Amino acid sequence: VGWNVVTGYLNSAARNLTNGQDQPEHDERYAICEEYMDVVYKLWNSSWRSDAVKLDRKTAVYTDPELVREINHKGKYFTVPGPHICQPSPQRTPVIMQAGTSTAGRAFAARHAEAIFVSTHSPAGVKDSVADVRAQMVKNGRDPAGLKVLAKFCPILGRTQEEADAKYRDLAQYGDYEGALALFGGWTGVDMAPYGEDEELRYVKSNAIQGYIKNLIRTAPDVNGGKWTKKTLAQHIMGEFVLTL
Amino acid sequence: MWLSTAKAGPRSDWCLTPLLKCVCPRDRHKSLIHTFTVHLADHVSGSGHQSPGLWKHPDDRSSDFNSVKHWINLAQQLEKGKFHGMFIADVLGGYDVYGDTLSHAAKSGAQWPVNEPLSLVPAMAAATESLGFGCTISTSYEQPYHLARRLSTVDHLTGGR
């Protein structure tokens, strides 16, 4: 099994899971996550020897206690003595995946990820962040060729261009504008409700929006001539801008 | 091992932590990751995921997500179509930032409602031979001891897929 390691981004999750508190800030979440990985690696890889389970009916030994040990992890966020409660599984550590291109996210990927998710309209849009992760992997003593890059795309298939176009139009008519903006609000923490439909977002007084739009212009330069409005944003999320291949 | 066609080999015994603290342990076994293109199908254990509103399409079946048969059919179809793996995204709360309300997400079915993804994996693994599985899981709300156990269990039940 594979694990896409995330730290969460929704305060609605935090409020329900941490007795009403909002989530810790972004870099703190990654610091917690870093120690978290340390703990799970110890449990998976350092607690049981592969031959610890004997299942020996003659000697009446199920697990040899000498071959299972505690991890005695004591850190800033977690204290976990162990041992791990499961015997080693086929992979021990699941495939580690990561998504997100923040500075902390890229540093995390360079230490842990075997595969990263990227979202872009063209390879050029993610070239820099992939190169950065690979360069950091080298610094961490990892082989950068070991990293898989998983690019998101949603193909609409048809035997002919016309058939594909018709399928696309059929699907697109069901897209939900308010739902798209609801998703954007969750991903970014930015409420688009106060903004006008055709207001160009590059110029609004919000660092979060400006940063996000700057990123969109970089990863999807072909959309609406670089003019991003609330409407463009919703349409983009609903998948109304497609490339014909 | 869903990024690979090879069976997972034996892992080094309890020797990794002091050497590879905070670095991916599998780098020692990098032969497991092959250099072919990986085809993953992306889902969420709900109806909407990132295409809010498409559940209104007359042919849509995504709203069957509460049925385990729906997932088994999907997994078998993906395997037949030569996909290497299936990825299930997740969130632990509703999208309530826009307009300071959950109403838009609820009404449009934008990742709401959403079930827990790891529970689906053993059922799909039992109904397929080679399809691999990946899930989003947050490190912010669950103790590492507990999550390590959940993932070990599913890795056992899927035979490392």
Q: What is the DSSP string of B37-90?
A: PP-EEEEESBS-TTSTTGGGSTT--GGGTTSHHHHHHHHHHHHHTT--EEEEE-
- What is the mean pLDDT of the segment spanning A196-223? 81
Q: Which of A14, A85, A112 sits opposite B149 (nearest CB)?
A: A85
Pairing of strands B85-89, B132-138: parallel
Answer whether A45 sits within 8 Å of B22, measured CB to CB: no
Q: Across the interface, which of A6, A114, A179 has its CB nearest the CB of B105?
A: A179
To the nearest whole number, what is the mean pLDDT of chain A? Answer: 90
Q: Is A112 on the interface with B (CB under 8 A)?
A: yes
Q: Chain A 225-244, CB below 8 Å of chain B: which residues?
A: 237-239
Beta strands in A132-208 (DSSP E): 148-151
Q: Which residue of A has its CA nearest to B2?
A: A1
A144–B contact, CB cutoff 8 A: no
Task: Name the stretches of chain B with pLDDT < 70.
Answer: 1-24, 26-38, 48-49
Contacts of A23 in chain B (CB under 8 A): 140
> Tokens for A142?
């990892």
Q: Say if residue A25's pLDDT is above 60.
A: yes
Say whether A14 and B93 touch across the interface (CB within 8 A).
Answer: yes
Kindly state the tokens that stand for A190. 């930015």
ipTM: 0.92
Cβ partners under 8 Å of residue A153, min gap 6: none
How far A58 CA sits from the closest chain B CA (Å)?
25
Q: Please name the residue of chain A whose CA is at the shortest distance from the CA of residue B139.
A: A7
Q: Which residue in B160, B8, B143, B29 sits closest to A40, CA to CA?
A: B143
CA distance B34 to chain A (A): 8
Residue A51: closest C-alpha in chain B: B13
Distance CA B13, CA A231 (A): 55
Can you give the pLDDT at residue A3? 97
Give the confidence band of A211 by pLDDT, cuts at 50, 70, 90: confident
Distance from the Cα of B66 to chain A's closest Cα (Å) equals 21
Query: Residue B59 phi/psi, 5° resolution?
Result: -90, 0
pLDDT per residue as tens digits for the range A107-137: 999 999 999 998 877 788 788 889 999 999 9
Highest mean pLDDT out of A40-54, A144-158, A170-184: A40-54
For testing the chain B interface, which of A91, A93, A148 should be mutated: the one with the most B CBs within 10 Å? Answer: A91
Q: How far is CA B56 from CA A32, A140, B95, B107, B151, in A?
A: 40, 48, 20, 12, 35
Which residue among A8, A115, A143 places its CB closest to the CB of B30? Answer: A143
